[in-house]
Structure 1
């Protein structure tokens, strides 16, 4: 492959596109996987910074609109209680689809809590998650994260299935 080869420019363009996709996947994974350590250590500003300014975190237990509400969730009693008790937000590998400057990632998460008597840990909840992201001037950020507990309901299964259906809307 030399610069005088007629297919050189095309192959170079294909390689650049593939590299860009790998870099996008890596940046999205780093962003998503920073959620657990930052929320478990109580770094509200880091958690909020994962979202765009008017981003949404829609959990089956409540909906937070905007960075301020997301940051406040980290500061409130239920979450601070989890931290003081001992907790871990654990995420499975994500199925990521990038389409230009937008992306969708689907995964499972577990909230693992230390037992009050200190005798170990237990899984408190397992959820289906859909992360909708956009590329900003500061890198990838979350626009909407939808999380539903996996309790047999169609909505949580639909979130997981949305990873495999192009153009699926966010299940409610």
Structure 2
């Protein structure tokens, strides 16, 4: 293998590592942003026309994502105490597109302030399937499909498709 070929292969491997890290960082940011009520930051993780299809609702575009974070329902979760934990993330790259998959847990405070020993419980465990695209802004979510892991076949199937690098 020539020096030029080795350098090209090394550059390709480095780009793939950087892409994977950028995607993992993007997904890792969701929990802190959504739990902190940072509507603009949450929306900025999606493409302008990106889709977030979650059990309760399907949101289209950044405007609807911002509205979800600012909604009374979501603000109630924040004020009561909640945490979204996502990861670890498996990423499959295909040029300027990628598929990522992970689990999440939503933990909520069921009672009391810090001084009263709050009671935290897992509200839900969810399967997440991300379709991502490379843009001028970096990697963004084009579509995120999320289903609660409640025994229906759709939820684990979503995980398997994502782990195989297949679209939902």
Question: What is the TM-score of this pair, normalised by structure 2?
Answer: 0.94
Q: How does 1:40-59 map to 2 (within 5 A)?
A: 40-59=35-54
1:65 aligns with 2:60: yes
| More RCO (CA 8 Å, sep 6+) | 2
Deviation at 1:106, TM superposition (A): 0.3
What SS does the corresponding residue of 2:125 show, helix, strand or coil?
strand
1:29 aligns with 2:28: no
Gaps in structure 1 of 5+ consecutive residues: 1-5
In structure 2, the residue matched to 1:3 is none
For the aligned residue pairs, the C-alpha RMSD in angstroms reads 1.1
Gaps in structure 2 of 5+ consecutive residues: none
1:17 aligns with 2:15: no
Separation in structure 1 between the aligned mates of residue 130 and residue 59 of structure 2, nearest angstrom: 14
Separation in structure 2 between the aligned mates of residue 138 and residue 163 of structure 1, nearest angstrom: 24
In structure 2, the residue matched to 1:95 is 90
Deviation at 1:7, TM superposition (A): 1.4
Deviation at 1:120, TM superposition (A): 2.3
Question: What is the TM-score of this pair, normalised by structure 1?
Answer: 0.92
Separation in structure 2 between the aligned mates of residue 59 and residue 8 of structure 1, nearest angstrom: 49
In structure 1, the residue matched to 2:146 is 147
Pick the structure with greater CA Rg: 1
Q: Which runs of 4+ in 1 moved over 2 A?
A: 116-120, 163-166
Separation in structure 2 between the aligned mates of residue 7 and residue 83 of structure 1, nearest angstrom: 57
Equivalent pairs counted in the alignment come to 164
Separation in structure 1 between the aligned mates of residue 163 and residue 97 of structure 2, nearest angstrom: 16
